[in-house]
């Protein structure tokens, strides 16, 4: 079962982590988050209850188009398109083009694991700003 690892870190923590990686001072461990949010609130907005249900519908029904997904989910296609494009930016959904250019949504993961830093240490082992 594929799991997407997601973390929460401040801009300063992410900048310090990225620079440490670029300098060769830090190597991300396997299983470390690949996607980062700046706050728990931003994570919760993208993966609201309604959007988690939507991901489940996509994973279970593998709809052949956004039109079909809209019918299954009971949501308007225009709102669905906007939501899916946001979730695609974070890697929660993959949108591909099918016959006649229709968008086909897929969920590449079956679980999303959230890592929340509780100490003052940042993701790269340095102090948070």
Enter the tokens of residue 11.
């801009």
Global pTM? 0.79
* Per-residue pLDDT tens over the stretch 8-64: 988 888 899 999 999 999 999 888 898 999 999 999 999 999 999 999 999 999 999
- Residue spans per domain, the chain: 3-116
Distance (Å, rounded) from C-alpha 128 to C-alpha 124? 9
Count of positions (residues) in the chain = 129
Read off the tokens for 9: 């870190």
**127 has a pLDDT exceeding 50:** no
Q: Are 43 and 79 in contact (CB under 8 A)?
A: no
User: Among the ranges 26-30, 67-71, 125-129, which has the highest mean pLDDT value?
Assistant: 67-71
Listed residue (87, 89, 96) closest to 54, CA to CA = 87
124, pLDDT greater than 60: no
Per-residue pLDDT at 126 exceeds 60: no
Give CATH for domain 3-116: 1.10.10.10
């Amino acid at each position: 079962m594929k799991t997407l690892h997601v973390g929460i870190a401040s801009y300063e923590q992410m900048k310090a982590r990225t620079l440490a990686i670029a300098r060769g001072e830090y190597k991300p461990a396997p299983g470390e988050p690949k996607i980062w949010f700046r706050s728990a609130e931003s994570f919760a907005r993208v993966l609201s209850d309604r959007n988690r249900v939507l991901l489940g519908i996509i994973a279970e029904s593998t709809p052949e188009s956004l039109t079909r997904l809209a019918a299954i989910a009971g949501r308007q296609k225009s709102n669905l398109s906007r939501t899916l494009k946001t979730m695609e930016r974070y890697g929660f959904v993959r949108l591909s083009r099918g016959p006649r250019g229709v968008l086909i949504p897929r969920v590449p993961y079956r679980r999303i694991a959230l890592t929340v830093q509780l100490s003052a240490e940042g993701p790269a082992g340095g102090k948070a700003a």
